[in-house]
Structures are given as structure tokens and as C-alpha cells.
Amino acid sequence: MRISIAAVGRMKNGPERELVARYLERAQASGKPLALTGFDVHELAESRAGSAASRKAEEAKSIRATLPEGMLVMLDERGKSLSSEAFATQLGRWRDDGRQAVGFVIGGADGIDPEFVKSADLTLSFSPMVWPHQLVRIMLAEQLYRAITILSGHPYHRGD
């Protein structure tokens, strides 16, 4: 199953970008034996439309055009909170069900278009707090790597 991330906004070169790259490289290397591949990031420009609603709609259209057909996961503070184990189990279930791809969406400063959110297979929250997209990208990359270690029985994850 191919895993992709679509993020509105670009990360500058620096420690945050390096940390995302490090976790995704680990996920890519460890995921191959588990039939989890890709781990690519698509950075999309923020819309310059006049209203927040128009910006969100334009960004949703760009994201849809970027991600492959498959499962769609939105990252939103109003989403469902999952433990790392439950997240890993969900990825494994999608893979085992023959899903070809899963795309993760990190919205821009205005958030994600509500109609686009409704089309998601899962809306996931790392917290009810709002986080900068750079930190969300780091947390998602780490959780993807952690999920792979959980699925493979690697000792990286030492939860209860």
C-alpha cells in the first residue's frame, strides 16, 4: 500500500524538514517488507483567493489532484484520537483489505474545506489543540514510522 502526504505550505530547509525526512526514510526502509511503500510528501502552495472559504476550496482541489486514488485521512483537531497501536492496526487493516493507497492531508492556515473533510475515510486528531503544519508533519512522519515498527514487532515502540 502506497502512503502519501499532501501538505499545504512549504517547509523551509532546516531541522524540521530534516526530522520529517529522517522518519519517512526509516518508514520507507522498514515498510517495504510489510508492503507499505511510498512515504512521499507533496507540498502545495497556499491559495491566494480572497476569502478563507475560497482558499480552502482551491486547496482541496489541488490536494485531490495530487493524491492517488485510495483511502483519505484528514488531520484536523476535531477528528478522532487514536492510540499509536490503533493507528498501526488501521493501517495494517487497510493494507490487508487490499487498499492500494492512503493519503494523509495536512491543511493550510485556514484549515481544510468542510466538504473535503466529509469525503475522508478517517479524520484524525493529534490533539484538540491546533498545531503549526510543520509540527503536524513531524508528528505524522513519526507516527507512520512508529506504526511500521508496531506492525513489524520492532522494539522502537515500547507502549504498554
What are the binding residues for S-adenosyl-L-methionine?
75, 107, 126-131
DSSP per-residue string spanning 96-145: HTT--EEEEEE-BTTB--HHHHHT-SEEE-S-SS---HHHHHHHHHHHHH
Please report, in range form, the residues annotated as the binding site: 75, 107, 126-131
Neighbours of 74 (CB within 10 A): 25
**Tally of CB atoms within 10 A around 58:** 19
Amino acid at 31: G
At residue 68, φ and ψ (nearest 5 deg) are: -70, 160
